[in-house]
Amino acid sequence: MTSPAAEADGEEPGPVAARFTGRAATGERRLSAALAEVTLDGGRVVMVKRGDGDGAARAEAAGLRWLADAGSVPVPAVHGDDGRWLVTDRVPQGRPGAPAAVRFGRDLAALHAAGAPAFGAAPPGGPEHAYIGLAPMRNVHGTSWPHWYAEHRVLPYLRRAVDDGTVRPAEAEVVERVCERLPELAGPPEPPARLHGDLWNGNVLWGADGRVWLIDPAAHGGHRETDLAMLRLFGCPHLEEILEGYQQVAPLAEGWAGRVGVHQLFPLLVHAVLFGRGYAEQALAVARSALGR
């Protein structure tokens, strides 16, 4: 059966993979309506993904290339993209382990240290209008992380959640108050870090080569604690070992553990917009905790 995604543009994953790699497709395994593994002539396996929105594939491809340029955390090689489709290498998977976790922490610290031109900077060649998961995300430059984070990461999703009825208007005040107090809640100023941007456990692959690989970025310039807060929010194997490795290379500023909730507001509100009230309640609880209520 032809998937809705394929019907939308008349192509199937196999021909897309052949077009970008120059090798004939000999097999195809659908993982979802938008994702497939394609085996090429010669045995190589690639991942073929259809973007969920206009420019999503281009944004993801630009993010993968930008992360790869840091030379730290491995990411799948990009074979090509065209605005709708993205073709990358497949990562053979292994099992989580403590040594790989410590190395990943060190590599993640090096990725962040590679930096970005500004908070909100898109990867080179990446669009201003990008995505985090299925949610639109604008990459707009800012010089002050607290003001940028409030204006371009927290408040847009809070407003949409209120408009959708997921957050009640009277409840929004607690999040707005956190945004007002971000200059004092944010901790010491930090330079823009090169973020993966959607660093939940599902985008962390424990490779068969003994290293941790990253996929599906929403890459942009941001605060390094945001990536780490998202890892903690949704859980990750050997998280304490990851943090241990990170601290070996780039110790976090004093009080970072108390700021985790502030950084989790963004992904929680994104999830509230996409998936409903349960995440909205978590965001409100995090906001109250940040204010000491």
Annotated active-site positions, please? 198
Rounded distance between C-alpha atoms, residue 209 and residue 19, angstroms:
28
Q: Compute how many other C-beta atoms are within 10 angstroms of the C-beta atom of residue 110.
A: 17
Q: What are residue 79's phi and psi, to 5 degrees?
A: -90, -25
Per the CB < 8 A criterion, the answer to whether 124 and 116 are in contact is no
Torsion 261-264-270-275 (CA) sign: negative
292: closest CA among 190, 195, 208, 184?
A: 184
Token pair listed for 194: 């090169």
Helix (H, G, I), strand (E, B) or coil at 209: coil
Angle at which helices 155-164 and 172-185 cross, to 10°: 170
Distance CA(277)–CA(52), nearest Å, equals 23
Q: What does the H/E/C string look like for 113-150?
A: HCCCCCECCCCCCCCCEEEECCEEEECCCECCHHHHHH
Rounded CA-CA distance 73/195 in Å is: 11
Rounded CA separation 270/154 (Å): 9
End-to-end CA distance of the chain: give it in Å, rounded: 54
